């Protein structure tokens, strides 16, 4: 039996593990990023490269879930500036429908909200838990 997810991609071709993260296409066809340790600038760049690689295999715009439940405190303002710059550049390469960021503590929530606002990113929201995030990702746009 061939193991294919809703993105119609072989599961073996839709998961990449890096130092501090895993990027994979879950069973719902959502591109999921699990951050499980502190990432430096190189780690963020590696994560983005791998997410783009998987997202380009999708036939439609990606719905992305970033799970920070295992992520430690995000360090310096210089790191946050680099993340903002990386995200802005990523948006040029990756078309996405929505991005839901969930988990972590108060510090992660504040920093994530700051990054979203500073990078002027649209269709990105922070959620306390994964269930709310997935529900929002699955909603149809009301236009």
pLDDT digits (tens, 9 = 90+) for 22-34: 899 888 889 998 8
**Total of domains in the chain:** 1
Q: What is the pLDDT of residue 46?
A: 85
Q: What is the pLDDT of residue 3?
A: 41
For residue 24, give its domain range: 17-138
Q: What is the pLDDT of residue 143?
A: 46
pLDDT of 1 > 50? The answer is no
Does the residue 58 lie in any domain?
A: yes
Does the residue 7 lie in any domain?
A: no
Q: Strand ranges (DSSP E) for 1-143?
A: 15-18, 21-25, 31-35, 62-67, 96-102, 124-127
Out of 12-16, 23-27, 70-74, which region has the weakest mean confidence (pLDDT)? 70-74
Q: Which residues pair with 62 in a beta bridge?
A: 96
Does the residue 113 lie in any domain?
A: yes
Does this model's pTM top 0.85? My answer is no
Average the pLDDT over 83-103 and give the result. 75
CATH number at residue 108: 3.30.750.24
Does the residue 87 lie in any domain?
A: yes
Q: What's the rounded Cα separation, in Å, for the pair 122 and 131? A: 21
pLDDT of 12 > 60? The answer is no
pLDDT of 63 > 70? The answer is yes
Does the residue 6 lie in any domain?
A: no
Does the residue 4 lie in any domain?
A: no
Does the residue 84 lie in any domain?
A: yes
Handedness of CA 133, 129, 18, 72 (dihedral sign): positive
Structure confidence by residue, pLDDT tens digits, 110-121: 777 877 777 777
Does the residue 1 lie in any domain?
A: no
């Amino acid at each position: 039996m061939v193991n294919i997810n809703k993105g119609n991609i072989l599961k073996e071709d839709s998961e990449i593990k890096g130092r501090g993260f895993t990027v994979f296409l879950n069973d719902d066809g959502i591109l999921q990023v699990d951050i499980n340790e502190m990432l430096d600038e190189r780690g963020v760049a590696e994560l983005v490269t791998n997410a783009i690689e998987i997202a380009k295999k999708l036939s439609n715009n990606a719905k992305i879930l970033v799970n920070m439940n295992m992520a430690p405190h995000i360090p310096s303002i210089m790191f946050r500036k680099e993340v903002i710059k990386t995200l802005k550049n990523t948006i040029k390469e990756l078309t996405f429908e929505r991005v839901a960021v969930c988990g972590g503590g108060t510090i992660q929530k504040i920093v994530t909200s700051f990054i979203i606002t500073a990078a002027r990113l649209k269709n990105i929201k922070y959620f306390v838990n994964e269930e709310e995030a997935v529900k929002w990702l699955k909603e149809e746009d009301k236009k």
